[in-house]
Structure 1
Amino acid sequence: MSAHLETYPEVLRPALKAALKSLADDDRLSWLDSMADVSHDDVVEAIARSDFLKNTMLRHPEAMARLASAQSLRAATTPEFLSSRWREYLADVKDEPGLHRGLRQFRMESQFRIIWRDAMRWSDLSETMAATSELADTCIQGALAWLYADACEQFGTPWGAHPVTSEPVPQPLLVIGMGKLGGRELNVSSDIDLIFAYPSKGETRGGRRALDSEQFFVRLGQRLIQSLDQITADGFVFRVDMRLRPYGQSGALAMSFSALETYYQDQGRDWERYAMVKARVVAGDQALGQVLMESLRPFVYRKYIDFSAFESLRNMKSMISREVRRKGLENNIKLSRGGIREIEFVVQAFQLIRGGRDRELQKRELLQVLTALEHMELLPTKVVQELRDAYVFLRNLEHALQGIDDQQTQLLPADARSQARVALIMNCVDWSACCAELDRHRARVAHHFADIIASDDEDDDASMLADGWKELWLGEMDESAAEAWLTHHGFEHPAASMKALTDLRSGRPVQTMQTQGRRRLNQIMPVLLEALTHVAQPSETLDRVLQLVEAVLRRTAYLVLLLENPGARTQLVRLCSESPWIARQLAETPLLLDELLNAESLYHPPAKSELQDDLRQQMLRISYEDLEEQMESLRHFKKAHILRVAASELRGTLPLMKVSDYLTWIAEVVLDHVVAVAFANLVSRYGYPTRKDGTVCDTDFAIVGYGKLGGIELGYTSDLDLVFIHNADPQLSTDGEKSIDNAVFYTRLGQRIVHILSTQTTAGQLYEVDMRLRPSGNSGLLVSTLLAFEKYQREDAWTWEHQALARARGVAGCRATIDAFEVLRHDLLCLPRDTKRLRNEVVEMREKMRASLGTPQSEGKSPETFHVKHDYGGIIDIEFMVQYLMLANAAQHAELTQWSDNIRQLEELGRVGVLPVADTEKLRDAYITLRSTIHRRALQNLNSQVEPDAFEAERRYIQTMWKRIMMDA
């Protein structure tokens, strides 16, 4: 075999020679004796192309022996063959660990066969996709059948109404495959997107006790995921992703047919329509599966021709393009320009638009739909042929990239060794030839995508600019002429602006730019300078815009974005003019420029449900195990949506109360996701915490927000006052192989959450977290049980801690635990209190805060500033009055506890008669005025200290009320 090594690229020869020596020395090629039609030269070819194939031959001789005894590698991998092989493995399964072992060994053998045939080009794309999809189907169905029978033996068989006849029948679990699995187009190293469904609600029969059907199927679903996804000594079968199910990670793991239908009818999003095009029942009762899929068909395929699909797919492509820019994925053959995703979008646009009328388009397989589009004359033959050729090339290339090491990747390799291997697999002369072929296909795809889906490019108005702006930027004007030009166009500090431009142009970062980047900079700068003439204070705004320009000198794609999108350019200049805070955010995170592309969404931030949906879409393809990427994406999500809120406040489309609502919703959505990520991370290590009845905890954990978060009053730079509680039994333990006490589990959960929120990454910090309001403060446990929290609040809490409780509410986590906390909070706030003692303690705490945080005062001198929050007559005075009145009166007026925000608490105090309504209205107006000031100043990078004579009327009134309520009573 060594004689042929010189025919391979030089970069591959050393490793190839070493591998062949090891295989020969250890007699690891004896399996070849059973395959007369597979030669030693074939082995050399396989090793040259794939480390996965080489390592399997070296490390798993028993797997190679099983493979050789089954069927030659020259034979196609058919569904019948895979089904027959699984039955042979199943015959040895006696228990659940045996099932796990059998599945993994079956997967290793089948995966070797599939990747071998693909890498050697003994199979075409159709066989590779079909075989990989059939392998997944066989594993899912095989695991489900065994686990369902075992679960029925343990808990009884679930019964419920048949979805058509309504007769009581045993209930199966159906597994719906989404994405490429649903379309029978699975990659050779792909995860699988699944949704679990069962026909109808009911309970089990024949077990020791009746079990609710949902509980039965959730448990079964968890075991099914574990059987496929868990990494053991034998590896894993498939990575399982359940986040495409209704409500994402926060939704039930298994849902009834009627619940699924209701969800998609009432709440289904455009992206879920897109995902459902490929949905297919991959395991379970196929007849019942047909009933379910027919019920969901109207959601996917509209009866009318639905051209809105173009816009929704365009928006999805925009989101993907932003992700490509943010992560630097230009070498991703799936997501980048001209990649696989653009072909999929073209095809599915026609399916979503016309599929309701033309049943011929209601197919899952992309190549079949392309053929239908040609027959129906919806696309020209030449376009279809070019898209088909590109799809086959790109998918073959994708399999080549993944087959090298059985890794899920779509990134072109950067190292010479992998490049040589990909070229070999793709039958290209060398890597440069492979790239040339790739570029040709991508250019064609991008062209067709732009013709069919992408919006028309905006007119490039750079050519219409006055020549003076170009001459000014390029330094072709003398100094006096340049300053005169700037003065004529409204620049308030022309000399300073000219110096800033000269410093940028002659500075080292610009001088060392690549030719293309320099050309882009020279194109955008005159356009930006002209845009500055349309805002107030253009010199000041220029300084802010230049921060961004300097930040993107090495990422000039952003300069292109601004050049090609006049609307985004206009929004950039306007926002930088109105807020230095926004200007700094954009400079620190240039990806936020993407938010400026759509003025309508920029000035109309989404409601909470839409925020949840947006975050779910962004996180769908990021593994929970990839904590670093989760953290980066969360930080970008938060910044993008806070930018929208700030822009809306500046434009006047959001009043103060709504600004705080939106900022609070952003935090709540982020916290909910962080809980889900942290919980999933720990469950993968230690299993689920358990309850006394043997069921597992669906987190049973809640985050309680205090202060501004609890009071729905977050500002742009607010930290989060948090308390963590759980309602599990700390004496029990988790159900994983590496079991730990529930108490330890929840402590680590709290630590993980704080880590995700507060760690500084390249995108900054998500939120600054303050945990000092937990029982016993910094010396207390990070996470308390609900019982321990109650005991502390009743027996040991200080008055100021009960004040803080007035502004507390559950903000994220398990709904049942949050509800239990809310009941406890109500009971604690309604405790009878000695009002005189209460008032004295509240006043004493207020004076301490004023002394430490308020404006220092010298005797005989007037203060130089007024601190809007902490000084006498400021915000804190109103908050303390409200908290005192709530604690003093909640025993008689329990309804006072229903709100956690100051505004509604004030309104409720007036409604029940604790304060005259006229006073509550004046206090509310003063409160809103002062808070509005803090918000506006934050957007100007200013603190909460204003002129000493500001807000005289409001301060006098607040001081009068303080004396009346807190001093004279």
Structure 2
Amino acid sequence: MGRDAVADGSLWFGAPVLVLKPVDDDEAAEALEMVREAAEDAQCARLCELLGSNTGLTGFLSAVFELSPFLRDCARRNPHALEALFDAPADERLKTLFERIDASAFAEEQTESGQMKALRDLKAEAHFLIALCRLADVADTATTTERLSLLADKCIRAAVNFLLLDADRAGKLKLPDQARPAEGSGWILLGMGKLGANELNFSSDIDLIVLVDPHAPAIIDAYEAIDLFVRLTRRLVRILQDRTEHGYVFRTDLRLRPDPGSTPLAIPVEAALHYYESRGQNWERAAMIKARPIAGDLVAGESFLKELQPYVWRKYLDYAAIADVHSIKRQIHAHKGHGAVAVRGHNVKLGRGGIREIEFFVQTQQLIAGGRFPELRGRRTVIMLKELACCGWIDEEARGALTRQYWFLRDVEHALQMVADEQTHTLPEEDDELERIAHLLAFDDAEAFSEAFRESLRLVEQHYADLFETAPQLSRGVGNLVFTGDVDDPGTLETLSELGFERPSDMCRVIRGWHYGRYRATQSAEARERLTELTPALLEAFGSTRRADEALLRFDAFLAGLPAGIQLFSLLQSNPALLNMLVSIMGAAPRLAAIITRRPHVFDGLLDPALLSELPDRAYLSERLETFLAGAQIYEEILDRLRIFAAEQKFLIGIRLLTGAIDSARAGKAFSDLADLTVESALEAVVENFAGRHGRIAGGRVAILGMGKLGSRELTAGSDIDLILLYDHDEDADYSDGQKALAPSEYYARLTQRLIAAVSAPTAEGVLYELDLRLRPSGNKGPVATHIDAFARYQRNDAWTWEHMALTRARAFVGDRALIERVEKEVHDILALPRDTQKIRNEAAEMRRLLEEEKPARDVWDLKLVPGGLIDLEFIAQVAVLTGNTPSESEATATSEVLSSLSETFCAPQARQELVDAHHLYMTLTQTTRLCLEGGFDPDEAPPGFADLMLRQTDLPELGILQAHVEETAGRVRRLFEELVGPVV
């Protein structure tokens, strides 16, 4: 935040305020006027006068309201929040609000609904003021995170105190001191993550672990204590996170508790201690570094953490524990030196060079050294960076750089979340939205911000990689590696075992085969020499995958198919990031490994240094496809080139998803854009080739309607594509004008069959896409090509409900522009037809029941078919469209977009958000699974590296927690399905 300040901000903030620049001056003036009108209605005279004047403070506010619709709406809903600043500056007003939050639990005859309203109103005003202070630059980022954490502490404590007093009045507890209800209550609430570290985000969830001491003075019956506090914890979550007309307080997450899939929400202290001491994982030790008693019985909470110290802070760290810390580290890769990083769409928290890399390094060093150095046991990231430097674990340059970048990235994170109060960490892809973020951060424009952001990521990435390479006790030299002769070297077998290989003798035999030149890639002496130099790094890298033998065998199969090896071995040796990426593929993604084994040329795309910095959007893919097809004239050559191009681009889109350069939604759009473009090129080639023999129909036009996941732009790496081919022609056209004339219906039927062959028939280069035309009118019984008039008549008069549901995802994407426009209008008009809402719901629920009978889910990981899975979400969205419960002007076909636009009369805002979150979770897991595995996900069969990948993408620490999260999500979705559509019986 480097712009000039204006002095008249002292009126409210006690200091000059930063000059912010709006993106659009007219919209800023309009936003300011909206707030002024609200102030006038609320009789806030001083605020009205200020907003009608031309001062630096007014300019600051107009920019804030234009840049942040959320803060603008806060001011409109409660102009008194600003009016109050005329009587006391913001920091004093915040103190007053905190005091009122404390007092809310003790209000006379306070009810639960009254407590909920009080907390929502007070939190909203404090939240608003904390944001204004940061944007005005009168509070730095550290102060802002502390204030946000204190606000959460206060709200949680007030809710806890209210519930304890309520339980006391009901005779369920006997509190020792009603003026301090939490003392001696036995109810322990630990703040975890950023809340525990006093580093909360602007729109963060709060992570809690809830414990109970059944022997506390307030507890009347120790046997009933757990049930009582589980009920109180449920009420606490409802008080904090349920969305009402007054908003919400904090989204609350209890999944960090021990074994969340099988333990109650509130766990006895003794059971928790036993779990951590007997079954606790190193990631849980890392999580406990930030644990802090924040509410309830604080003394009991401190006592619990004190008892847990030997578990968290081990005096002597054995080699197995160090290896486990390595496995935690592997969940976030240091992509050192591999190309630039895209700004648009970058995840500030989890992406390369992001916040998590700084936090993660600090925590792993704390785990290793905290047992011997008590000064390294702190919760706060920046303070611990300073201590690591003092103890000699990092140098001052690294400490200074990481500290500066940490606060810069936290500022970026806050700006992203201030726009709409969303828990997002991803920079926008649209130019105007990126400009908004730049201005919120007081940059002149998006270009200046992007330059600073890229430099920040580069610095973090560099230090992150360097720190792990040089960290004490983390580097380990490779021992004997001798692969000459026919007899296994005992020292080499021992080294391979230490590196993680389970069958070292078999691995020796494989590697000896490389050196014997049995593959084309290793036939030259120079290639074998390069491979010999690379082998130690390869073996260390494969050893880190936790199923090293399988990964090495996949690499061996890859080598066997390579036409040459010198260039690849040289690149891998000079580019560790490329090696890490290849190892990730071999260790986590058997499907991708099989692709590059069968088609080694797709690996060439990884050599593009701009791969991870360029988004694979439609323009990017179109430009490359045009270049790739240039010069191809022969029909068969065009089809082969399309297959080669699609295979390589599917692989490269997958790599971007695998490395975190894009998320699952962006991947779905990219896979769909790729299908659009290649099918369009195939259609053009087919039309020209077909016309050479059969001529053309007078006025003939074709359009293709994409259905299913192609229509909704949610394709995965292995998706088939659903199409309907529609045509039109002049009314008096009887035959085509070619050498072998055909009537229109036969002409377009044969043209469609030719297109199916062009796309789906296997050639030397494989299959472009498997096509499915069963969604056409009358299904497999109907003609493969349909006249647009026949399509319209069928949909209006004969189509079943399921066909109209399918039509909600239809998207015309290829063909004659005029016909495309007519098709889109027909689809829009058909979907807008009046319908019997209850009939639609009943038939959709019955279809879901039949699907469950005919195709039951294999297990909870069968995310499409599982009750409460993707089909439930798709049916909810489709029913909403057909019953007029989405915006009438909307052209959205993507399930996530439809769910996010559900009307409030159909679905409450909180339920709508739960549906959107569930769809995001399912698509993240589905995209990753379809990309990496040949079949579905089986935890017992999938590579451990794949499980690590899923955990990294969902930001969860272990598979059991992810499974519990999926099960909870599916349960919520199924309940909402039955509420919004109907019971599945």
The answer to which structure, 1 or 2, has the higher relative contact order (CA under 8 A, 6+ apart) is 2
Larger Rg: 1 or 2?
1
Could you tell me the TM-score, scaled by structure 2's length? 0.49
